[in-house]
Amino acid sequence: MPGISGFSAYLPPHRVNLADWCDWTGQPAGKVAGVIGDSFRMAGPEQDVYALAASAAVRLIEAYDVDASAVGMLVLGTESASDNAAGAVILRGMLDDYLASRGRAPLAADCEVPEIKHACLGGIYGLKQALRYLATDGAGRQAIVVSADIAEYARGSSGEATQGAGAVAMLLEAEPRLLSVDLGAAGRASRYRGADFRKPFARYPGQRTDQARPRDFPVFNGRYSTACYLDTVASAFDDMAPRPDAAGATDWDAVFLHRPYARMPETAWAMLCLRAWLADDPHTLRAFCHEVGVDAVALAAELTPGRDIGPAGDIPLDAERYPATTALIRAWRRREDYRDVVLGRLGPGQAAMRACGNLYTGSLPAWLAAGLSEAAEQAEPGPRWLAIGYGSGDAAEVLPLTLVPGWRAVAGRIGFRAALDGAVDLDQAGYEALHEGRMVNPAAGNGAFVIDHIGDRDEPGHVDAGIPRYAWA
């Protein structure tokens, strides 16, 4: 069964400490730390998503001594692409240049180079495509999947604290050395909800700056987007659960979810556990509802996936779609069994992820990488892992994973902690400058790709206006 044999991560050095950000903006530091995390990273104007992706891919190639000629597929999952025609082939060119500078052979001539977009799920869709390739016409080859994004939100918006930037690269093989992925038992769901999260092109020109990389702020409705996440994840889990070899919500040793901010995956997993509780022991759950003053009938209705959560009729977008569920989870957090049932299964790597911010497509792969790095230094974890990806708009994927024999030695190469090193904390002026696209301290010199220059020729027979040229710095 094909799967994952390696991870690497790249985070740009510019870091915003959320405690400092709260001082600048007047936000409650305790609440932000509890719900969001500790810090986030920002890409500078000299780094776009292709620079981030190539930087992570180089680390993967070096850490696992990848023979580029054996790579038959190079996939980029992103929602931050700056080119509407070329995609992962840009990444391929950067890697070939890097390999040539080291006297090494380039990627294979027949290497496929798709770029996949679906909000934060693009990287997981790319993972599935590459696994199918290895199981069919790519037998005997390797694949590299890179999830890279730049999460930007307007200053003063509800999403400002959930920014982030970075990339995670994955090495895939038919005989994996870390995690096998059981696509036959996977679950999936999708549903169009236009008011959830979009980046309409009509907004894009107005966000351009005179710097190399334009701004890319989304259109979103925070509370409604949260409801979409919960509903579609539950639907995808149900698509997996009826299969004979699939497990229920409480049968996994570790669970990793798409992580736009710290509290979101916890809430989603708690809701799935409540659904299991409702199915397995409804009497006890009703008693708990009565104890804390939650309507058990309303709770049961909310825990049914696929229900109409709008937007429709007179229900405003910012209305709470899960009031009973939210109230019960809040009460459940105060009980000891919450730690065992919910928090105990949310995988290792939590502390590292609190320092990353929102990586969009990279959030779930980053958590898996951080979790494997941390688990390799601890007692033997259970082998049954679950990955739940989500992309606004919206769609979800649930992937059963299994740790393979010998995984611990290979996980030691991930070095996720090292990817967090070298951060430079921004002060308020530096943050505001970087948010506006003005240079602060360039990332050059930290072993990463940067935009060297932007083409500006627009002549008969030679046009390269607007095309970035990259260099390894």
Contact 257, 265 (CB under 8 A): yes
Q: Which residues pair with 73 in a beta bridge?
A: 112, 143
- Non-local (6+) Cβ contacts of 337 within 8 A are none
Retrieve residue 42's tokens: 């920002």
* CA–CA gap between residue 286 and residue 410 (Å, rounded): 46
- Non-local (6+) Cβ contacts of 314 within 8 A are none
* CA distances for 427 relative to 24, 37, 171, 211, 359, angstroms: 9, 18, 37, 21, 22
Q: Which amino acid is it at 175?
A: E
Q: How does DSSP classify residue 357?
A: B
> φ and ψ at 197, to 5 degrees?
-160, 120
**How sure is the predictor about 381, in pLDDT bands with cuts at 50, 70 and 90?**
confident
**How sure is the predictor about 229, in pLDDT bands with cuts at 50, 70 and 90?**
very high
Retrieve residue 53's tokens: 């992706």
220: three-class secondary structure by DSSP: strand
- The total of structural domains in the chain comes to 1
- pLDDT tops 60 at residue 249: yes
pLDDT at 105: 95
Report the percentage of the chain scoring pLDDT > 90. Answer: 75
The predicted model gives 415-421 an average pLDDT of 93
* CA–CA gap between residue 221 and residue 433 (Å, rounded): 26
Q: What angle do CA 99, 129, 11 make, to 5 degrees?
A: 50
Higher pLDDT, 67 or 243: 67
- pLDDT tops 90 at residue 94: yes
The predicted model gives 14-32 an average pLDDT of 97
pLDDT at 120: 96
The predicted model gives 229-237 an average pLDDT of 94
- pLDDT tops 70 at residue 450: yes
The predicted model gives 134-148 an average pLDDT of 97
Helix (H) or strand (E) holding 261: none
pLDDT in tens, 282-338: 999 999 999 999 999 999 999 987 777 776 555 677 888 999 999 999 999 999 999
Mean pLDDT of the chain: 91
C-alpha count within 13 angstroms, C-beta hemisphere, residue 61: 25
Domain with residue 127: its CATH number is 3.40.47.10
The predicted model gives 222-248 an average pLDDT of 83
- pLDDT tops 50 at residue 444: no
- Non-local (6+) Cβ contacts of 118 within 8 A are 79, 125, 391, 393, 395
Q: Note down the domain range covering 229.
A: 3-472
Higher pLDDT, 217 or 226: 226
* CA–CA gap between residue 130 and residue 88 (Å, rounded): 13
* CA–CA gap between residue 39 and residue 162 (Å, rounded): 9
H-type alpha helices, 147-191: none
Contact 213, 43 (CB under 8 A): yes
391-406 as b/e, with b when 16 or more CB fall inside 10 Å? Answer: bbbbbbbbbbbbbbee
> φ and ψ at 118, to 5 degrees?
-160, 80
* CA–CA gap between residue 163 and residue 176 (Å, rounded): 33
Query: Minimal CA–CA distance to 257: which of 367, 400, 353, 372?
Result: 367
Torsion of CA 273, 123, 242, 285, to 10 degrees: 10
The predicted model gives 444-460 an average pLDDT of 83
Sign of CA dihedral 63, 67, 72, 76: positive
Torsion of CA 233, 238, 243, 248, to 10 degrees: 80
pLDDT at 58: 98
149-180 as b/e, with b when 16 or more CB fall inside 10 Å? Answer: bbbbbeeeeebbbbbbbbbbbbbbbbebbbbb
- pLDDT tops 50 at residue 101: yes
Least confident of 40-54, 87-101, 192-206, 353-367: 192-206
pLDDT in tens, 168-212: 999 999 999 999 999 999 999 998 887 788 877 655 555 554 455
The predicted model gives 443-467 an average pLDDT of 83
Higher pLDDT, 306 or 98: 98
Q: Which residues pair with 148 in a beta bridge?
A: 167
* CA distances for 443 relative to 297, 319, 430, angstroms: 55, 42, 14
**How sure is the predictor about 386, in pLDDT bands with cuts at 50, 70 and 90?**
very high
* CA–CA gap between residue 241 and residue 250 (Å, rounded): 12
Whole-prediction pTM value? 0.94
- pLDDT tops 60 at residue 363: yes
